[in-house]
Amino acid sequence: MSNSHPAFKLVTSAEIDSLGVRVEEYRHDTTGAQHLHIAADNPENVFLVALRTVPEDSTGVAHILEHTALCGSDKYPVRDPFFMMIRRSLNTFMNAFTSSDWTAYPFASQNRKDFDNLLDVYLDAVFFARLDPLDFAQEGHRLEFAEADNANSELVYKGVVFNEMKGAMSSVSSQLWHTLSKYLFPTTTYHYNSGGEPTDIPKLSYEQLVAFYRSHYHPSNAIFMTFGDIPAAEHQAAFEEKALHKFDQLDKTIAVGREDRYQAPLKVEEHYPLSGEELNGKTHIVLSWLLGDVTDLEEALTAHLLAGVLLDSSASPLMKLLETTDLGTSPSPLIGLDDSQRELVFVCGIEGSERTCADELERQVLTVLEEVAEAGIPYDQVEASLHQLELQQREIGGDGYPYGLQLILTALTGATHRGDPIGLLNIDATLEKLREQIKDPRFIADKARELLLENQHRVRLVLSPDDKLATRREQAEKDQLAQIRSRLSEKEAEQIIETAKALTDRQIREDDASLLPKVGVEDIPAELPDVEGEETTLGEQKLTLYCAGTNGLVYQQMVSALPDLTEEEKQLLPYYCQVLSEVGLGDKDYLEVQQWQTSVAGALHGFTSSRTAIDNLDHLSGHFILSGKALSRNQSELTELMQATMEQVRFDESPRIKELLLQTLARREQGVVGNGHALAMAAASAGYNRAAWESHASGGLLGLRELKTLVRGLDQEQGLQNLSAQFQSIHQKILAAPRQFLLVGEEEKISDFSRALAPLTSTPSTTAAAPDAPFERKHVEELWVANSQVNFCAKAYATVPMSHPDAAPLSVLSGFLRNGFLHRTIREQGGAYGGGAGHDSNIGVFRFYSYRDPRMGETLEDFDASLKWLAEEKHKEEQVEEAILGVVGGLDKPGSPAGEAKKNFHSALYGRSHTVRQKFRKQVTEVTLEDLQRVGATYLDPRKASTAVVTGTHGREAAAKLNLQEETL
Which residues are annotated as catalytic?
A: 66
- Measured torsion, CA atoms of residues 303, 305, 306, 307, in degrees rounded to the nearest 10: 80
Contact by Cβ (8 Å): 67, 161: yes
**Calpha distance 891→530 (Å, rounded):** 11
**Calpha distance 89→887 (Å, rounded):** 11
Nearest to 613, CA basis, from 890, 916, 938, 902: 916
Pairing of strands 739-745, 541-547: parallel
Nearest to 863, CA basis, from 930, 799, 796, 798: 796
Letter for the amino acid at 273? P
Nearest to 901, CA basis, from 528, 395, 530: 530
CA-based angle 380:381:387, to the nearest 5?
85
Length of the chain: 969
Kindly give, in sequence order, each residue whose CB lies less than 8 Å from that of residue 214, ignoring residues fewer than 6 positions away.
none
**Calpha distance 631→476 (Å, rounded):** 56
**Calpha distance 338→340 (Å, rounded):** 6
Q: How far is CA 532 from CA 481, 545, 557, 906, in A?
A: 62, 9, 17, 13
Kindly give, in sequence order, each residue whose CB lies less than 8 Å from that of residue 559, ignoring residues fewer than 6 positions away.
623, 624, 625, 739, 740, 741, 742, 909
Contact by Cβ (8 Å): 805, 866: no
Letter for the amino acid at 593? V
Contact by Cβ (8 Å): 347, 180: yes
90-96, Cβ contacts within 8 angstroms, sequence gap of 24 or more: 90/114, 90/519, 90/523, 90/524, 90/885, 90/888, 90/889, 90/892, 91/118, 91/889, 92/44, 92/402, 92/889, 92/892, 92/893, 92/894, 93/46, 93/401, 93/402, 93/405, 94/118, 96/66, 96/67, 96/70
**Calpha distance 132→181 (Å, rounded):** 33
**Where does residue 830 rank: exposed (0-12), middle (13-18), buried (19+ CB within 10 A)?**
buried
**Calpha distance 748→776 (Å, rounded):** 52
**Calpha distance 576→565 (Å, rounded):** 13
Q: What is the DSSP string of 752-784?
A: HHHHHTGGG-----SPPPPPPPPP-----EEEE
**Calpha distance 802→918 (Å, rounded):** 12
Pairing of strands 781-785, 965-967: parallel
H/E stretch holding 160 reads helix 160-168
- Describe the chain by its helix, strand, coil percentages, rounded to 5: 50, 20, 30
Three state DSSP letters for 184-233: HCCCCHHHCCCCCCCCCHHHCCHHHHHHHHHHHCCHHHEEEEEEECCCHH
